[in-house]
Structure 1
Amino acid sequence: MLKTSNTGFLLIVDDNPTNLSVLCEALSIEGFRFRVAVDGETAIALAERNRPELILLDVQMPGIDGFETCRRLKANPVTQNIPIIFTTALADTESKTKGFSLGAVDYIPKPFAQEEVIARVRVHLQVKQLTESLEKQVSDRTAALQQIQVQLVQQEKLSTLGELIAGVAHEINNPLSFITSNIPPLEEYFAGISKIIQLYQQDYPNPTAKISTAIDELDLEFILEDITKILNSLKLGSERIQNLSTSLRNFYRSDSDEKLLADLHQGLDSTLMILQHRLKGNGDRPAIEVIKSYGIIPEINCYLGQMNQVFMNILANAIDALDEALILGKISDQIPQIQITTEVDSEQWIVIRIADNGTGIPESVKQRLFEPLFTTKPVGKGTGLGLSIAHQIVLEKHNGTLEVNSQMGMGTEFTIRIPIISTPD
């Protein structure tokens, strides 16, 4: 027998004692739990405080009538989904049409037939329960499909990113090897030529007019000094390219399908190196200052490529937030900053905090930040998957936590916590 749940109840709204008596008796016999209101205002207040599973609502009442009561209940998000059955002696089509247009699900005519009241209540309770069950199934299935979609996108992004980075690193390494391998002999040749020139100048201090003119036109002394500077610049440039190539290789590992001991500081530094072009100043804003407060943390078993993706998504979002704040003129009087702090907490978890001094995130957005496909960015600027993927990597792949703390006007801080002792996948 279908009844209300242990905490659920029906609400009877009627100002006529006889009608109330009949309805209460019918529902009591069948074991339904119910409450009573004698006017529309009381019914609305009661429904808002404790939502009933169904409302039996009289049309003709003092104060606001049943139609107005129904309209107000349906206009309120808290009560709009409660099924309403009108109980009325009005049998004209116009009244029935008005009731249905306001959102009622049924009419029970007066005088009441108890069997009809119970039958209609049971039917609409069953419809409500079936609807809620279907909605939950749809919601669960949608969430599961979104989760699968996030996983597929993550795998595809990592695979594509890995292939891209491997190709770029390979293309960089070939000319880089040629440059770095030729700099030492070039330095040696230049040192030898410089020595010979010095010996010539010592043994032949008075060169011919033709040679003197050539030396003056060439500005030999300046060139000898400048070649040394050029060689040093080539060495410095090749070292920076080599560091970038190393960062690219560290950012994504081809063996990222299994956990390996890794230094998360190295992952953070590699990510910052790749984002260096976005951190530099431009015509619209000064350079973003990155403040690193690294503590002493051990290497941990992790999917470093995936953890680097987490760092990339959070840091890229921080840069976007600072760009937006500067465009809006919110931090024009201060230097845009990203602060990265690492430590081991008392529970033996590695804690990584990435904070910016942007405008902060509204509470309504913060609550949905890790939802798949949710984004506040314009079309073409964001997929709504970056933070969702980061959340999944930290929670599901590393048994950690990813939290956000933000106040409007005070910036945003993401906190990643990873256990030092990893558990099996």
Structure 2
Amino acid sequence: MAELLTTGLHHARAQEQIQAQKQQLERQLKEFHRQHLRVLQTEKMSSLSQLVAGIAHEINNPIGFIYGNLEPAATYAEDMMRIIAMYQNCFPDPGPEIEAEINRVDLLFVMTDLGRLIESMRVGADRISEIVLSLRTFSRLDESEVKPVDIHDGIDSTLMILDNRLQETDESPRIRVIKNYDASLPFVECYAGKLNQVFLNIMSNAIDAIITQYKLDPTLYPQIVIQTLQVDNKVEVRIQDNGVGIDQGTLSQIFDPFFTTKPIGQGTGMGLAMSHQIVTEDHQGSLTCESEVGKGCVFILRIPMNQ
């Protein structure tokens, strides 16, 4: 009997040790995943910043030349058209050879259209400058530390980055974006570049989910609704889509590292995990998701106004 009791005690202790070792290994694995995410996040942001810096620099130089030449080009064009008009007044009968050339080049149209042409070039240059500014705002190259920023600028710059994916394609019609911004929202202290990466991850997933749902339901009117508001001392950003949605069994795993429902080669399972880490660890906030299959998802991000 004593031997049985002793054996039972040894067995119980062994089980306790095994359980303790298992828990320790689980903690170590969780910490490993956390640190791995941190390294990936840092490398991704660093690579993105370098990429954007290079693009912005390469675009800014030629666009600077274009801007610098547009004004004198417009002045030269006005001067030439004025002189041509003077010649026409002084010499209304230029002769058959010149008259034929005037008709060939359609001089009247050229004189009318040249100003519009230069103005369209100015509009295009402005658009390029806006894109460069959006790239800089998105990556926040000069704001690697916590700084007060307009959260709406970050969201808008992210939408600019994703604009091509929001347009009509063979896979879905144009995805409408509805912005319900709280105009009274003050500046928020945050790591702006990191937070913009969160917006990018969530919105990219929303677009993927909408495309999937559209294949199932071609009558779908695709849209993403973005809402901002202040709740006590926190800012809340809600990003809602009417995509395919997530079942409740899967919903509890979406923030786990390496978890993905996408086909092999289309997702790493790191985007939402990194987003969750950025919000919860870097900003002491919360990131949750509510969803219903076939109805879409709403991601709710909350961070303190002041870090």
Bucket of the pairwise TM-score, normalised by the shorter protein: over 0.9
Residue 370 (1) aligns with residue 255 (2): yes
- 2:61 alignment partner in structure 1: 174
Instruction: List gaps (5 residues or longer) in structure 2.
Output: none
Runs in 1 of length 4+ with deviation above 4 angstroms?
A: none
The 5-angstrom pairing of residues 252-401 of structure 1 reads: 252-295=139-182, 296-327=184-215, 329-330=216-217, 332-345=218-231, 347-401=232-286
The 5-angstrom pairing of residues 93-104 of structure 1 reads: none
Q: Structure 2 CA distance, aligned partners of 1:256 and 1:149?
A: 24
CA contact (8 A) 2:144 2:192 kept: no
Q: CA deviation at 1:119?
A: 2.6
What secondary structure does 1:399 align onto? coil
Instruction: List gaps (5 residues or longer) in structure 1.
Output: 1-113
Q: CA deviation at 1:365?
A: 1.5
Q: Higher relative contact order by CA 8 Å / sep ≥ 6: 1 or 2?
A: 2
Name the % identity: 39
Q: Structure 1 CA distance, aligned partners of 2:38 and 2:253?
A: 18
Q: Structure 2 CA distance, aligned partners of 1:363 and 1:263?
A: 34
Q: Structure 1 CA distance, aligned partners of 2:169 and 2:115?
A: 31
- 1:156 alignment partner in structure 2: 43
Q: CA deviation at 1:301?
A: 1.5
CA contact (8 A) 2:213 2:294 kept: no
> Could you list the per-position Cα deviations for residues 266-304 of structure 1 after superposition, in whole angstroms to 9, with x for gaps in the alignment?
001111111111111112221111111111211121111
Residue 235 (1) aligns with residue 138 (2): no
Q: Which residue among 19, 22, 33 is the counterpart of 1:132? A: 19
> Could you list the per-position Cα deviations for residues 19-58 of structure 1 after superposition, in whole angstroms to 9, with x for gaps in the alignment?
xxxxxxxxxxxxxxxxxxxxxxxxxxxxxxxxxxxxxxxx
CA contact (8 A) 2:214 2:220 kept: no
What secondary structure does 1:376 align onto? coil
Q: Number of residues paired by the alignment?
A: 306
What secondary structure does 2:261 align onto? coil
Q: Structure 2 CA distance, aligned partners of 1:288 and 1:225?
A: 38
| TM-score, normalised via structure 2 length | 0.96
Q: Structure 2 CA distance, aligned partners of 1:206 and 1:257?
A: 69
Q: CA deviation at 1:251?
A: 1.1
- 1:141 alignment partner in structure 2: 28
Q: Which residue among 397, 405, 410 is the counterpart of 2:290? A: 405
How big is the alpha-carbon RMSD for the aligned residues of Structure 1 and Structure 2? Answer: 1.3
Amino acid corresponding to residue 341 of structure 1 in structure 2: Q
> Could you list the per-position Cα deviations for residues 132-176 of structure 1 after superposition, in whole angstroms to 9, with x for gaps in the alignment?
111111110000000000000000001111101100110110111
CA contact (8 A) 1:349 1:420 kept: yes
Richer in helix (by share): 2
- 2:103 alignment partner in structure 1: 216
CA contact (8 A) 1:256 1:306 kept: no
Q: CA deviation at 1:197?
A: 1.4
| TM-score, normalised via structure 1 length | 0.70
Q: Structure 1 CA distance, aligned partners of 2:170 and 2:110?
A: 35
